[in-house]
Amino acid sequence: MLDINKIRKDFPILNRTVNGKPLVYFDNAATSQTPQQVIDVIVDYYSNYNANIHRGVHTLSQEATDKYEDARHIIQQHFNAEKAHEIIFTSGTTHSINLVANGFASLIKKGDELIVSALEHHSNIVPWQMLCEKTGATLKVIPMTLEGELDMEAYANLLSNKTKLVFVNHISNALGTINPIKTIIDQAHKFGAAVLIDGAQACPHIKPDVQALNVDFYVTSAHKICGPTGVGMLYGKEEWLTKMQPYQGGGEMIDQVTFEKTTYAGLPHKFEAGTPNICGGIAFGAALNYMNAIGFDKIAGYEHELLEYGTKKLKEIEGLKIYGTSKNKTSVISFNLEGIHPYDVGTLLDKMGIAVRTGHHCAQPIMDFYKIPGTIRASFAFYNSKTEIDALVAGVKKAKMMLS
Amino acid sequence: MQTIKEIQDEIVDEFSMFEDWEERYQYMIDLGKTLPLIAPEYKTEDNIIKGCQSKVWVHAEMEDNKIAFTADSDAIITKGIIAILIRAFSNQHPKDILEANTDFIDQIGLKEHLSPTRANGLVSMIKQIKMYAIAYQTQLQ
């Protein structure tokens, strides 16, 4: 069991009020809050050893480099990557996906097919559309069902020898559906296609094992996992990373530069041009340490309890419809009140100190599928409580009364 | 005829009677619900302003050198604010519309709805109102 009162004390922001009410933070799928343990690491970095890394011979630079590379090892171990240089620091999931999409430009040709799913965030759609425009490849879409699950039969039919890449999220940000990624990966591999899994929504709840999954690329952001914004990672199998072209040119990513020819540095530096978010990377490692100390099994178990409790309580409200009803989902409840615009409900909930997300959640194709302008999304984290869910339910009831 | 400033002062006065956010929002919701704001034939793709969160439609016509605005939104609170904006800016001379501002929205505690990052279409709607005013003003000259 999680000691929820003790955990809540780790998050200073949970003590604040919004519009005169205690903050109820249910926008965790957009960004998670930061525990004191991670804040301390950020303060320590800027207070004691802020320096540019990898080049300096002075002590501060060495300390910062060591901590930054330690963080890479923490991430490697967390995701069970075989090699540390298979972990590339990026500015976040979107950057990671763009890096792969650009790196593949020279490996994709006209007539090739790429497969995306109907459940994706725009950031796992648009970079690939750009790649298709550049190369003349075609984008195919795995359709979704009413429950918000992927149609796996349709997926099997989309795969062929023309398929070069498949990119699917581990968990849908708009609906919370956990996708059967192991099956998706295995089936794609039968046709020699590489698979990228967008783990932005999964990593707060699940500890993925990239070797067990045998995934080619796994990407995520630190700020969804109690870390800071502006930093994330790309896991890529060494064989793919070696084949891919570098995404950005600049310092750190070179071996030798002359005006005639530049040779690139080895992995991971080939993909890490410029001064990185050093403090962010170190704090990313600290955030994973924090989460692992609590334990992902415990986190997932408790969040499932919150999901069941919230679903049951919200369903009792007449006219409330939940989108994404897969049995296999994480602690995200996307819903609407009949005849009421999600923006109105979100605005009133904010007045009551309750932070939810409203709108299309950067997943317009899903909203088009349900023929709705958007949803209200409450996403729970391990530091949320049932009392907070009660406040949400009371808030939704009140909003409904005011808007009906 | 009341000037824009007089109407705005009147609205600020009305809102000062509300004791808390609930009364303020309930009033806007009621405004949003009751007012027919635009003729259905003007609720077209051409007149739409797409916010990320809610949609807004705006239509303008000039009669006797005054612009009459009609508008609508798919979200009730947005529609309530539109009702207030239209009350202030509609049936006014283009020049007066161009010179007027929306500071009164801050004074009635609804400032957050006019934040450009809110993406509810209202900021674009005010821009659109000003654009119509510029266009009609040019016609008059």
What's the pLDDT score for residue B52? 65
ipTM summary value: 0.89
User: A203 an active-site residue?
Assistant: no
* Angle ∠(A324,A325,A331) on CA atoms, nearest 5: 75
Hey, is the C-beta of B74 within 8 angstroms of any chain A C-beta?
A: yes
What's the pLDDT score for residue A279? 98
pTM of the model: 0.93
Per residue of chain A (404 residues), what is the pLDDT tens digit?
Answer: 889 999 999 999 999 999 999 999 999 999 999 999 999 999 999 999 999 998 888 999 999 999 999 999 999 999 999 999 999 999 999 999 999 999 999 999 999 999 999 999 999 999 999 999 999 999 999 999 999 999 999 999 999 999 999 999 999 999 999 999 999 999 999 999 999 999 999 999 999 999 999 999 999 999 999 999 999 999 999 999 999 999 888 888 888 888 888 888 899 999 999 999 999 999 999 999 999 999 999 999 999 999 999 999 999 999 999 999 999 999 999 999 999 999 999 999 999 999 999 988 888 999 999 999 899 999 999 999 999 999 999 999 999 999 99
The nearest CA of chain B is from the CA of A110 a distance in Å of 34
Numbered residues of chain A with Cβ closer than 8 Å to any chain B Cβ: 19, 340-344, 346-348, 351, 358-360, 373-374, 402-403
Give the type of residue at A255.
D
Tokens of A235: 């896991």
Query: DSSP state, A12?
Result: G
What's the pLDDT score for residue A25? 98
Written as one string, the DSSP assignment of A26-84 is -BTTT-----HHHHHHHHHIIIII----SS--SHHHHHHHHHHHHHHHHHHHHHT-S-G
What's the pLDDT score for residue A381? 98
What's the pLDDT score for residue B60? 92
Closest by CA position to A131, among listed A196, A42, A186? A196
- Subunit contact A374:B25, Cβ cutoff 8 A: no
What's the pLDDT score for residue A253? 86
Per residue of chain B (141 residues), what is the pLDDT tens digit?
Answer: 899 999 999 999 999 999 999 999 999 999 888 766 788 888 888 888 876 678 888 899 999 999 999 888 889 998 998 889 899 999 999 999 999 988 888 888 887 777 766 667 778 888 889 999 999 999 888
Render pLDDT for A241-281 as a digit per residue (tens, 0 to 9).
Answer: 999 999 888 888 888 888 888 888 899 999 999 999 999 99
Query: DSSP state, A321?
Result: E
Query: DSSP state, A359?
Result: E
Hey, is the C-beta of B19 within 8 angstroms of any chain A C-beta?
A: no
Residue B42 near residue B72 (C-beta atoms within 8 A): no
Residue with tokens 């194709």: A365
What's the pLDDT score for residue A198? 98
Based on its alpha-carbon atoms, the radius of gyration of chain A, rounded to whole angstroms, reads 22
Ordered structural domains, chain A, with CATH: 4-30+295-403 (3.90.1150.10), 39-293 (3.40.640.10)
Q: Hey, what's the torsion of the CAs at A52, A218, A249, A123, to 10 degrees?
A: -110
Across chain A, mean pLDDT equals 96
What's the pLDDT score for residue B141? 84
Neighbours of B34 (CB within 10 A): 11
Residues of chain A in contact with residue B120, where contact means CB-CB under 8 angstroms, are: 343
Residue A198: its H or E element: strand A194-198
Residues of chain A in contact with residue B77, where contact means CB-CB under 8 angstroms, are: 343-344, 347-348
Residue A104 near residue A127 (C-beta atoms within 8 A): no
What's the pLDDT score for residue A42? 98
Among A341, A348, A371, A376, the strongest candidate for a mutation testing the B interface, having the largest count of B CBs within 10 A, is A341
Ordered structural domains, chain B, with CATH: 4-140 (3.90.1010.10)
